[in-house]
Amino acid sequence: MTETDELLNPLEPWEQKKKSSRFKNLNLTKLTIRALLILFITGITFACSYWRDEGTLGTNAIKNFFADSFIIFQYPAVNLFYHIGSYNWTTYIFGLIIDAYIYAIVLGLIWKLISRFKKPKEEKEISMH
């Protein structure tokens, strides 16, 4: 591309950079599905935690495990909003959604790392040559 072409079409270099983005392999559908699953589990743990605080949960070990694990699903965004001082229901729900997407990204990276080590034997032999 010459200098005159860049002057005539200034968006073309941007389009080239956009194609070589770091996030070209990011699948937003899979990310959203993982985040929704994490939000669903967060809702279950929230309900179990609420029921235990009210004294209606009982002694079921699985429900108590979910109640105890609710604190994990609140980090880092909900905790950050709490310490900043902007803590109401809107920021709480927004923080849970941010946390779900953070955990979804981490879960996707872990999945990709594990799948690299579990390649079939034929693929490993081909890649070694």
> Given a cut of 80, is residue 47 above it in pLDDT?
yes
Domain boundaries, the chain: 28-119
The structure's pTM equals 0.66
| Cβ 6 vs Cβ 80: under 8 Å | no
Of the listed ranges 14-23, 42-51, 67-76, the least confidently predicted one is 14-23
Provide the angle, in degrees to the nearest 10, between the axes of the packed helices 89-117 and 77-84: 150
Confidence of residue 41 (pLDDT cuts 50, 70, 90): very high
What percent of the chain clears pLDDT 70, i.e. is strictly above it? 72
Check residue 117 and give its pLDDT.
82
